[in-house]
Structure 1
Amino acid sequence: MKIKFIGAAGTVTGSKTLIESNGIRLLIDCGLFQGIKPLRELNWEPLPVLASTIDYVLLTHGHLDHCGWLPRLVNQGFRGKIFCTSPTMEITKLILVDSAKIQEEDAKKANEENCSKHEIAEPLYTVEEAKKVFPFFSVIQSEKIFEFDTGIKAIFTPAGHIIGACSISLFLEGKTLVFSGDLGRDNDVLLYPPMKPKTADLVFLESTYGDRLHPDTDPKLELEDYINNAFRKGGTVIIPSFAVERAQSIMYLLWELKKERRIPDIPYIVDSPMGVGAFEVFFNNTHWHKLSLADCQTMSKMFVINSDYEETLAAINNQGAKVVIAASGMITGGRVLSYLENYIGIPDATIIIVGYQAEGTRGRKLIEGAKDIKIFGAYYKVRAKIVEINSLSAHGDQADLLDWLSDLEKKPHKIFLVHGEHTAADELRIKIRERYGINCSIPLMGQEFEF
C-alpha cells in the first residue's frame, strides 16, 4: 500500500491524499489551494499521477479546500466515482459553481481593468467545467459500511464542522485507515458533536488548531456588542463567511439576538451567488443539525438574500447601517471583496473575522494588523475596525482534537498530522505523544509512505 500526500501537508488547504492498493488508486478529498501565491500556483499544476488512473474520490465535506479541485481533475481525465454524503454533494455542487462564477468574474474584471500580470487572465475553471463534475457523484449513507471495490470498504461517520461533513474509515489490505477530515466542536451552535473512532491502524488527523484553545467567551454577546457599537456610529458591519453552515450559524445567533431585541432593526443581508440554494441544503437535511424546519424557515425571513451582483451594488451604495454576511470566509475572493473595496477605508465600518484564516489570505493579514490590503490589483488603506470572534470557529481546537482520539481501543501504528501549519501540527504532535504515547508524523508535500 502506498500513501502520497499531495495537498494539506504543512498547510491547511488543498486537501488531497492519494492511496494506492492492489492496482486501485483513490483520493481522499480533492481540494483547492488557497493563501500564499506559491500555494495558489499549485492549482494550475497536474497531479503527480494521471487523473485518468484514479478510480475513486472520497469527499469528507464540501468546503472549497476539500472539493474545489474536482473540475480540474475531471478536465484532466478522471472518470471514476466521487463518494460523499447527500448534503456534501448538494454543498459541493453549490460551492463549485460559485467558485467558477467568482473566477470568471475576477478574470473578466482583471482583463477589463488591465490589472493582471498575464496577457489574458483566465479562470482556473468555468461554470461549464464545474458542472461536468456532477455526473460522477455517488451518494452514500453515513454510518453504514459499503464495499466500493473488491476488498475495499469504507464508512463515513459525522464529523461536525459543516452539514454533511464526515470522517472516513477505509478498510483495505487488512488495515483500517481513519481520515478525520475537518473536525467540528462538541458545543457547536448548530451541529452535533463529531463521532470518535474506535479502531485504527493509521490515523490522518487534521491539525488546524493544534496549537491553541478557543476562548471561553460568548459569541452571541460579542456579536451583540460589535453590532450595537457600529450602529451607534451609523456604520456597516461586514462578516466574511463561508456561505454554507458558518453563515447559518451566524444567522442563527443574529436571529436570536433580534428576537430578544438586543440588536437594532436594520437590514441584515446574506450576499452570495448561492442565494437560496444554501438555505435549501439546511431545509432538506434537518436530521444533520439541531434546527427544526420551522425554525430554518422563520430564521431565513429575517434576512435579505442577495444573489445577483446588481443587488450587491445596491447594498454597497446604501450608506445606512447594516450587517452583511458575504463569502468568502478567508476573503480570498467573492462578493466580500466588493464590500471591502468600498468600506475598508471607512473608520465607522466594522469587519468581523469569524473563522480560520490561512497563511497569506487577506483575512490573515487583517487580523495580523495590515495597514493596507490589495484588492483587484489596487491597495486600500485599512481604516475600518477589524475584530475577531474565535469562539465561532467551525474547527475543533487542540482539546477537541486530542479528545477525538480518546475512544481508540488500542494505539494506532502511526498518526499523520495534516491540514495544519507546521507550528500547529508540531505542538499537537507533542501533546499526542504526552497523552497517548502514540508516534506522530508530519508529512511534507509530495512525501510518500509504503506499508
Structure 2
Amino acid sequence: MKIQFLGAAGTVTGSKTLIESNGIRILIDCGLFQGGHELRQQNWEPLPVLPSTIDFVLLTHGHLDHCGWLPILVNQGFEGKIYCTSPSKAITQLILRDSAKIQEEEAEKANKEKYSKHNPAKPLYTVEEAEKVLPYFRVIQKDQEFNLDAEITARYFYAGHILGACSIELNLEGKKLVFSGDIGRDNDDLLFPAVKPKQADYVFLESTYGNKLHPENDPKEELAEYINEAYEKGGNIVIPSFAVERAQAVMYLIWQLKKAGKIPDMPYIIDTPMGIEMLQLFVENRQWHKLRIDQCEEMCKMFSMITEYEDTIAAIYDDQPKVVIAASGMLTGGRVLSYLERYIVRPETTVVIVGYQAEGTRGRKLLDGEKEIKIYGKYYPVEAKIVEIEGLSAHGDQKDLLEWLSELEQKPETIFLVHGETEALTTLQNEIEGKYQFRCEIPYQGQVVEIN
C-alpha cells in the first residue's frame, strides 16, 4: 500500500491524500489551496497521477479546502465515484457553484480593470465545470460500513465541525486507516461533539489548532462589547465569515444577545447567498445539530438577508451603524471585500475576525497588523479596528485533538499530522508523543509512504 500526501501537508489547506492498494486509487478529500500566491499557484499544477486513474474520492466534508479542486479533477478525466454524507453533498454543491461564480466574476473584473498580470485572467474553473461534478456523487449514511471494492471497506463517523462532516475509517490489506478530516469542538454551540475512534493502525490527524487552546472567556460577551463600542462611535461592524456553519453560529450568538437586550436596535445583515441557503440545510438536517426549528425561525427573523448584489451595494452606501456578516471567512474573495473597500479606511469601523486565517490570506495580514490591504488591485490604508474572537472557531483546539485520540484501544503504528502550519504540527507532535507515547510523523508535500 502506498500513501501520497498531495495537499495539507505542512500547510492547512489543499487537503488531498492518495491511497494506492492492489491497483485501486482512493483520494481522501480534494481541496483547494488557499493563502499566499505561492500556495494558490499549486491549484494550477497537475496531480502526480492522472485523475482518470483515480477510482474513488471520499470527502470528509464540504469546505472549499477539502472539496474545491473537484471540478479540475473531473475536467482532467476523473470518472469514478465521489462518496460523502447527504449534508456534505448539498454543501459541496453550494460551495463549488459559489467558488466558480466568484472566480468568474473576479477574472472578469481583473480583465476589465486590467490589474492582473495574466492577459486574459481566467477562472480556475467555471460554473459550468463545477456543475459537471454533481453526477459523480454517491451519498453514504454515517456509521454504516460500505464496500469500495471486494477487499476495501469504509465507514463515516461524526466529526462535528460543520453539518455533515465526518471522519473516515478505511479498511484495506488488513489495516485500519482513520482520517480525522476537520474535528469540531466538544462545546460547540450548534453541533454535537466529535465521535472518537476506537481502533486504528494509522491515523491521519488534522492539526490546525495543534499549538493553541481556545480562550476560556465567553465569545458572546466579547461580541457584545465590540458591537456596542462600534455602535457608540457611529461605526459599522463587519464580520468576515465562512458561509457554512460559522455564519450561522455568529447569527445564533447575535440573536441570543439581542433577545437578552445586550446589543442595540440597528440593522443586522447576513450578506452571503450561500450562508442563507445553509439555513435551509439546518432545517432539513435536524439529526446533525442541536438547533430546534423554532429557534432557527426566530433567529432568522431578526436578520435582513441579502442575496442580490444590488442590495449589497445599497447596504454598503447606507452609512448608519449596522452589523454585517459576509463571506468569505479569510477575506480571499466574496462580498465582504466590497464592504471593506468602503469601510476599512474608517477608524469607526470594527472588523471582527471569527475563524482561522491561513498564512498569506488578507485575514491573516489584518491580524498581523498590516497597515494597508490590497483589494481588487488597489491598496487601502487600514484605519478600522481589527479584533479577533478566538472562541468562535469551528476547529477543535489542542485539548480537543488530544482528547479525540483518547479512546484508541491499542497503540497505532503511526499518527500522521496533517492540515497544520509548522508550529502547530511540531507542538502537537510533542504533546501526543508525551501524553500517549504514540509515534508521530509530519509528512511533507508530495511524500510517499509505503505500508507493508
TM-score normalized with structure 1 length? 0.99
- 1:328-372 deviation digits (Å, cap 9, x = unpaired): 111111111111111110000000001110000010011111101
Q: Deviations over 1:150-183 (max 9, x none)?
A: 1111111111111110000101111000000000
Q: Deviation string for 1:274-318 (max 9, x for gaps)? A: 253211111110111001112112211111111111111111011
* Alignment match, 1:22: 22
The aligned counterpart of 1:277 is: 277
2:192 alignment counterpart? 192
8 Å CA contact 2:5, 2:16 repeated in 1: yes
Indicate if the aligned counterparts of 2:244 and 2:275 stay in contact, CA closer than 8 A: no
Aligned: 1:87 with 2:102:
no
1:111 aligns with 2:97: no
**In structure 1, how many angstroms separate the alpha carbons of the residues matched to 2:135 and 2:230?**
46
Letter in 1 for 2:400: D
User: Match for residue 96 of structure 2?
Assistant: 96
For 2:172 and 2:429, how far apart are their aligned partners in 1? 26
Map 1:93-172 to 2 at 5 A: 93-172=93-172
The amino acid that maps onto 2:14 is G
**Deviation string, structure 1 residues 101-153 (Cα, Å, up to 9, x no partner):** 11111111111111111111111011111111111110000011111211111
Is the partner of 2:205 in helix, strand or coil? Answer: strand
Give, in whole Å, the separation in 1 of the partners of 2:375 and 2:105: 14
Structure 2 gap segments, 5+ residues each: none
- For these two proteins, the number of residue pairs brought into alignment is 451
Q: 2:287 is matched with which residue?
A: 287
| 2:392 equivalent in structure 1 | 392
> Does the CA contact (< 8 Å) of 1:283 and 1:293 recur in 2?
yes
For the pair 1:77 / 2:91, whether they are aligned, the reply is no
Unaligned segments of structure 1, at least 5 residues: none
Alpha carbons 1:211, 1:423 under 8 Å: kept: yes
What are the residue-to-residue correspondences of 1:1-400 with 2, within 5 Å?
Answer: 1-274=1-274, 276-400=276-400
Given that residues 252 and 299 in structure 2 are in contact (C-alpha distance below 8 angstroms), is that contact kept between their aligned partners in structure 1?
yes
Q: Which amino acid aligns with 2:158?
A: P
1:241-264 per-residue CA deviation (whole Å, 9 max, x = no partner) reads 110111100000011111111111
Separation in 2, partners of 1:288, 1:116:
42
Change (3 A) 1:366 1:69: same
Do 2:5 and 2:443's aligned partners in 1 also have CA atoms closer than 8 Å? yes
Q: Distance in 2 between the 1:105 and 1:272 partners?
A: 15
Identity, in percent, stands at: 67
Q: Which residue of structure 2 lines up, in the alignment, with residue 437 of structure 1?
A: 437
Query: Distance between the aligned counterparts of 1:84 and 1:397, measured in 2?
Result: 25
Q: Tell me whether 1:422 sits opposite 2:392 in the alignment.
A: no
Paired residue secondary structure (2:110): helix
Within 1, Cα distance between the matches of 2:377 and 2:186?
41
Alignment root-mean-square deviation, CA: 0.7
Equivalent residue letter for 2:154: A
CA deviation after TM superposition for structure 1 residue 273, in Å: 3.1
1:100 and 1:125 in contact (8 A); partners too: yes
Alpha-carbon contact 2:248-2:275 (below 8 Å) kept: no
2:265 and 2:129 map into 1 onto residues whose CA distance is: 42
Cα displacement (A) at 1:13: 0.2
Secondary structure of the corresponding residue to residue 244 of structure 1:
coil
Separation in structure 2 between the aligned mates of residue 221 and residue 62 of structure 1, nearest angstrom: 30
